[in-house]
Amino acid sequence: MDKKEHPLTGFRAINSSSFNKGTAFTIEEREKYKLRGLLPPRVVPLEVQIERTLNNLRRKQDDIEKYIFLSALQARNERLFYRVVIDYIEEVMPLIYTPTVGQACKEYAHLFRRPRGMYITTEDKGEIKNVLENWPYRDIKVIVVTDGERILGLGDLGANGIGIPIGKLSLYVACAGIPPHQCLPIMLDVGTNNVEYLHDPLYLGLTQSRTSGDEYYDLVDEFIHSVKTVFPEALIQFEDFLTPNAYALLNKYRNDVLCFNDDIQGTAGVALAGVYASTKISGHKFKDLKIMFLGAGSAATGIADLLCCALQQGGLSEPEARQRLWFVDVEGLIVKGRKGLLPHNEPYMHDHEHLNFIDAINAIKPQVLIGATGAPNTFSKNVIEAMSNVNERPTIFALSNPTSRAECTAMEAYEWSHGKVIFASGSPFPPVEYKGQTYTPGQGNNVYIFPGIGLGTIVSKAPIITEDMFLVAARELANQVSQTDLDKGMIYPSLTNIREVSYKIALAVAKDVYATNLVNEKQPPDLEERIRDYMYDPTY
């Protein structure tokens, strides 16, 4: 229904999150929409509503309670919710996404208030298209889908993982202006192997062990093709799939479907941007860097694959580029002859003696250390000291989410390196005071990359998402880091500028789409205006 031609009235108007303005409905609107008597008499502008919202939010002591409060606001008054998120992004984003979303997912069934998004299950096999057609909107532009098997660093959370697509899409709206009604979170419920949930009477997902093998891939295949039928212009973002499945699905669909995996490619883009920016502080040339990873899952190898492409663009051959990228896992340095490694690890098996983590740092002397383990405290004091001994300004990324899973804290990194480290983390850490100096840690959050990628591909109508788009996005993000940011030790721009950052990434990505002839039309002269005009602005 077109709400402009057939506006909602009465309680239906107040109960529609996208239409509702609450106490901001004017006298004329109250008459027009039959709201007289249904609201307090005073008309309150948006600015006062924001003030009241912030006062109520800040009154709550527990972050989970704040998450519940904001979810309720989103369900009641969408525009007010997004205005608060945009205007107070540094305060609110950690509440609607990492780190709070991790705890919210763990407790999702117990916190449940109302359904959000869609649930596709193994019981829907053969009928997924019909299920998707139950969604009330057809103009879907972005779908974030998870199967809940590897939520952040928390593992198998089953159907509780729906909180991740919900949170990610809130960031698409707030940070890149994708209209809310064009966003669809989807939970692909194939069961769970989490015994606690299987025995929890409040759990809301299928109470069966996970479907796997051909049956699993057949279900996903039906889902993908059903999406392309029902929502033909939708970008599909794969989120928090187990590493083997994540790579298998990305490799199967990436050249035929508008899709990407944020854990592999989004994380890679934001990490590459941070590495680019770090060289402006360390003074190293990007092509001369040696980079070591702790962890060899989808996030780490995704970063390495994109770094390999970037190093080749910098003039190195592929073998030379791979020789600068080293991996350590729980068994030590990944070298030739190691058994039991997955296919995505094999390109990084170097001809070197097997070493433990500390010895590998001392032998290889990497300038950059990237953690993507999901295991807390793995960047110990010995690790930070080793990196500091072989570098004047070591760069360390503790990327695992949520905060409880970070490889080390910002305080530990600065103290153990005696203030030498260039530091970024996946979840936010406050500024650190050390020996009279204030250090501001960067947050290597994928929110710097995926909203802009989505916006750029939507406006340009790209048929697929290429690896080159992430290289373009990473370079543009690094360019947005100001000298003022660098002087504070930051290798990412302030989150307060995220909508402008997303716009510039979208513009760069869209230009790349036209330049590489992904679409059969020339770049329109008003491309900048088209992107600006498309971006949702939550005002009354």
| Beta partners for residue 118, in sequence order | 186
100-257 topology per CATH: Rossmann fold (3.40.50)
Residue 48 pLDDT grade (very low, low, confident, very high; cuts 50, 70, 90): very high
Which residues carry out catalysis?
A: 97, 168
Residue 341 pLDDT grade (very low, low, confident, very high; cuts 50, 70, 90): confident
CATH architecture assigned to 10-96: Up-down Bundle (1.20)
Q: State residue 261 phi and psi, 5-degree precision.
A: -110, 115
- Say if residues 522 and 510 touch (Cβ distance below 8 Å): no
pLDDT per residue over 269-316, tens digit each?
A: 999 999 999 999 999 999 999 999 999 988 999 999 999 999 999 999
Q: Could you tell me which of 199, 223, 193 has the C-alpha nearest to residue 119?
A: 223
pLDDT per residue over 236-261, tens digit each?
A: 999 999 999 999 999 999 999 999 99
Task: Please give the C-alpha separations between residue 23 and each of 71, 198, 540, in angstroms, as whole numbers.
Answer: 19, 44, 12
Q: Could you tell me which of 114, 182, 119 has the C-alpha nearest to residue 147?
A: 119
Does the pLDDT value for residue 5 go beyond 80? no
What is the Cα–Cα distance from 172 to 443, expressed in whole angstroms? 18
Amino acid 3: pLDDT: 41
Residue 342 pLDDT grade (very low, low, confident, very high; cuts 50, 70, 90): confident
pLDDT per residue over 185-231, tens digit each?
A: 999 999 999 999 999 999 999 999 999 999 999 999 999 999 999 99
Does the pLDDT value for residue 62 go beyond 70? yes
- Say if residues 539 and 46 touch (Cβ distance below 8 Å): yes
pLDDT per residue over 347-367, tens digit each?
A: 999 999 999 999 999 999 999
Q: Is the dihedral of CA 189, 191, 192, 196 positive or negative?
A: positive
Query: Locate tokens 């107040």: which residue?
Result: 14
The SS3 assignment for 416 reads helix
Q: Which amino acid is at 252?
A: K
Does the pLDDT value for residue 484 go beyond 50? yes
Q: Is 336 exposed, middle or buried (0-12, 13-18, 19+ CB in 10 A)?
A: exposed
Amino acid 327: pLDDT: 97
Identical fold for domains 100-257 and 265-447, yes or no, is: yes
- Say if residues 372 and 294 touch (Cβ distance below 8 Å): yes
Residue 340 pLDDT grade (very low, low, confident, very high; cuts 50, 70, 90): confident
Domain ranges of the chain: 10-96, 100-257, 265-447
Give percent of the chain with pLDDT exceeding 90.
Answer: 95
The superfamily in CATH containing domain 265-447 is NAD(P)-binding Rossmann-like Domain (3.40.50.720)
Q: Is 58 exposed, middle or buried (0-12, 13-18, 19+ CB in 10 A)?
A: exposed
Amino acid 2: pLDDT: 42
- Say if residues 449 and 474 touch (Cβ distance below 8 Å): yes
Residue 6 pLDDT grade (very low, low, confident, very high; cuts 50, 70, 90): low
What is the Cα–Cα distance from 190 to 217, expressed in whole angstroms? 11
Does the pLDDT value for residue 4 go beyond 60? no
